[in-house]
């Protein structure tokens, strides 16, 4: 079984996808970490992640072990990740990695921005999470505070808006809801409610088959 979970930053994709993977005993892949790994490798090589040639070269070197690097959570890397994600060659280089991962074992849960539309268009279940940009910025602000990072809400909000624009306006695999995806607004939902609603959706899909 393959489950695709898409949505903008801080919409709750990671939390939901990890819980679904545990519940169904499936592999889990945070595809956003792949683009963070590309950005990190570019920085480590002394290159500019916005340089297409450097970014594609970095993408071709990404390995599974790179995804465990704690430095991928650095704000600089996170911002650069959305930049490299807009480079067509980078997305092409990582596409085979994602599809191969999805087919391992009993299947997988993948979260990202183009899983249901590009990476796994034939996924057994597709979920698209959304939430107001203000709610998502507040979540990210609290996450940064909890880890001891210096954060100003207004700056986090502005960064979130810029990232949303890059994700939705890029020419290759833009962030968008698959026509057959279950859309869930998490603005006023906690993790448990989002998980329960998604399980109901998956259960209904199974019963119709």
Quick check: is 43 in a domain?
A: yes
* Rounded to 5°, angle at Cα 201 from 113 and 135: 50
Give the domain CATH number at 76.
Answer: 3.40.50.300
pLDDT given at position 114: 95
Question: What's the average model confidence in pLDDT over 110-137?
Answer: 97
Q: What pTM was estimated for this model as a whole?
A: 0.92
Joined tokens for residue 55: 């970014």
Joined tokens for residue 124: 């057994």
pLDDT given at position 73: 86
Q: What confidence tens digit (pLDDT) does each residue in 27-62 have?
A: 999 999 999 999 999 999 999 999 999 999 999 999
Nearest to 188 by CA among 113, 111, 129: 129
pLDDT at 148 over 90: no
The CA distance from 40 to 24, in Å, is 32
Nearest to 28 by CA among 106, 95, 91: 106
pLDDT given at position 193: 98
Quick check: is 207 in a domain?
A: no
List alpha helices for 170-190, DSSP H: none
Residue 45's SS3 state is coil
Q: What confidence tens digit (pLDDT) does each residue in 59-111 have?
A: 999 999 999 999 998 889 988 998 999 999 999 999 999 999 999 999 999 99
pLDDT given at position 147: 80
Quick check: is 10 in a domain?
A: yes
Nearest to 112 by CA among 3, 1, 2, 4: 4
Q: How many domains does the chain have?
A: 1
Quick check: is 200 in a domain?
A: no
* Entry field: residues in the chain: 209
pLDDT given at position 118: 96
Residue 139's SS3 state is helix
CA dihedral 83, 136, 144, 68 (to 10 degrees): -60
Quick check: is 201 in a domain?
A: no
The CA distance from 26 to 9, in Å, is 23
Question: What's the average model confidence in pLDDT over 5-29?
Answer: 97
Quick check: is 89 in a domain?
A: yes
The CA distance from 158 to 181, in Å, is 28
Quick check: is 209 in a domain?
A: no
Quick check: is 198 in a domain?
A: no
Q: Which domain holds residue 20?
A: 2-190
pLDDT at 157 over 90: yes
Strand order in the sheet with 2-6: 27-30, 108-112, 2-6, 125-130, 182-185
pLDDT given at position 176: 94
pLDDT at 209 over 80: no
Question: What's the average model confidence in pLDDT over 114-141?
Answer: 97
pLDDT given at position 206: 83
Q: What confidence tens digit (pLDDT) does each residue in 175-197 have?
A: 999 999 999 999 999 999 999 99
Summary mean pLDDT of the chain: 95
Tokens 């107001």, residue located = 132
């Amino acid at each position: 079984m393959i489950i695709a979970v898409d949505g903008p930053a801080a919409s709750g994709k990671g939390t939901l996808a990890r819980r679904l993977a545990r519940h169904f005993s499936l592999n889990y892949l945070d595809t956003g970490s792949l683009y963070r790994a590309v950005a990190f490798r570019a920085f480590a090589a002394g290159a500019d992640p916005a340089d297409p040639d450097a970014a594609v070269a970095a993408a071709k070197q990404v390995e599974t072990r790179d995804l465990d690097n704690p430095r991928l959570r650095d704000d600089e890397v996170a911002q650069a990740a959305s930049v490299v994600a807009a480079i067509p060659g980078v997305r092409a280089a990582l596409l085979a990695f994602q599809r191969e991962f999805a087919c391992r074992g009993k299947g997988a849960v993948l979260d990202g921005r183009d899983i249901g539309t590009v990476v796994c268009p034939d996924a057994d279940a597709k979920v698209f999470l959304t939430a107001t940009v203000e709610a998502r910025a507040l979540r990210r602000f609290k996450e940064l505070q909890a880890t001891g990072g210096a954060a100003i809400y207004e700056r986090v909000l502005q960064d979130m808006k810029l990232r949303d624009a890059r994700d939705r306006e890029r020419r290759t695999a833009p962030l968008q809801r698959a026509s057959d995806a279950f859309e869930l607004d998490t603005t006023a939902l906690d993790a448990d409610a989002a998980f329960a609603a998604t399980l109901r959706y998956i259960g209904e899909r199974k019963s119709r088959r």
